[in-house]
Amino acid sequence: MSYSLSFLDEEKICPKCQGKLSCCEAPPIHVGDGLGWGSEVLFICLNDACPTFLNGWEQIEKRYGHHASYRYMELPGSKEGNFMMVGNSDAFKGCVIDREILKEQNERFVREKAAVEGMKTCLAENNLTPVMTLLLDEAAAQEARRSAVTYLIKLNDMACIDSLRNHKFRDTAFEHEVNMAIQAILKANFKQECPHCMEIIKAQAKKCLHCKENL
């Protein structure tokens, strides 16, 4: 993502009706429109009772002789008011951005990037966190998650097991890789999982300490 995401937290009020401006996707630029608005998003007052919109029909009819009105609009990071011409009351209503979803996606992306960075030093720092972040993030890049599995084995930290066991992996082939890694870690620590209760017990145990089942 190359553009600024500061608009995600921006709140704007329409000076004409005091309603909240909606954050909308900027319309695609057509040949002849020049550079467009220079922004990916526009803040538009979509209130049908806004005086700008209500009075616009008559103004445009008088001035240009066609059926259209105006919506009040501001660009992100600017207080300057603009007026967008609209042909009907539904214009832009389908382009309202769900900023909560966008924010979550962005936060996830930032977390993934930090984890990929953190993985480079995780062995030196004995830090399981970046590895776990990637393994438990189904939306992270598959390549990064694959290398997280190799670091998992090298870190050899049994603290990883519970969260991995509780995680629902979407890709069964990947889940299998993770399971193999867990088995390798258990083995390296002379442990096993009880086949009856899944608690971690000594590799040489003949009876489970937790569920008392014979092995």
As measured in angstroms, the least distance from the Cβ of 13 to Zn ion is 9
As measured in angstroms, the least distance from the Cβ of 187 to Zn ion is 18
Q: What angle do CA 44, 30, 75 make, to 5 degrees?
A: 25
Number of residues that bind Zn ion (CB under 5 A): 14
Distance of alpha carbon 114 from its chain centroid, rounded?
14
How many other CB atoms sit within 10 Å of the CB of residue 50? 20
Q: What are phi and psi of 148, to 5 degrees?
A: -60, -35
**Alpha carbons 211 and 209: distance in angstroms, whole number:** 6
The reply on whether position 194 binds Zn ion by CB under 5 A is yes
Q: Pick the binder of Zn ion from 44, 45, 46, 164 (CB under 5 A).
A: 45
Interface region with Zn ion, contact rule CB under 5 A, candidates 36-44, 70-78, 88-96, 130-138: 70-78
Q: Are 134 and 112 in contact (CB under 8 A)?
A: yes
From residue 105 to residue 124, the character string flagging contacts with Zn ion as x (rule: CB under 5 A) and all else as - is --------------------
**Alpha carbons 59 and 177: distance in angstroms, whole number:** 67
As measured in angstroms, the least distance from the Cβ of 197 to Zn ion is 3
121: Cβ–Cβ under 8 A, 6 or more apart, which residues? Answer: 127
Using CB under 5 A as the binding rule, the residues of this chain from 14 to 43 that contact Zn ion are: 14, 16-17, 19
The reply on whether position 97 binds Zn ion by CB under 5 A is no
Please name the residue that has the structure tokens 């097991």: 161
161: Cβ–Cβ under 8 A, 6 or more apart, which residues? Answer: 182, 185, 186, 200
> Which C-beta is closer to Zn ion: that of 146 or that of 212?
212
As measured in angstroms, the least distance from the Cβ of 192 to Zn ion is 10
From residue 173 to residue 192, the character string flagging contacts with Zn ion as x (rule: CB under 5 A) and all else as - is --------------------
125: Cβ–Cβ under 8 A, 6 or more apart, which residues? Answer: none
> Which C-beta is closer to Zn ion: that of 141 or that of 197?
197
The reply on whether position 197 binds Zn ion by CB under 5 A is yes
The reply on whether position 211 binds Zn ion by CB under 5 A is yes
Rg (CA), the chain: 28
The reply on whether position 12 binds Zn ion by CB under 5 A is no
Residues near Zn ion (CB under 5 A) are: 14, 16-17, 19, 45, 47, 50, 72, 194, 196-197, 208, 210-211
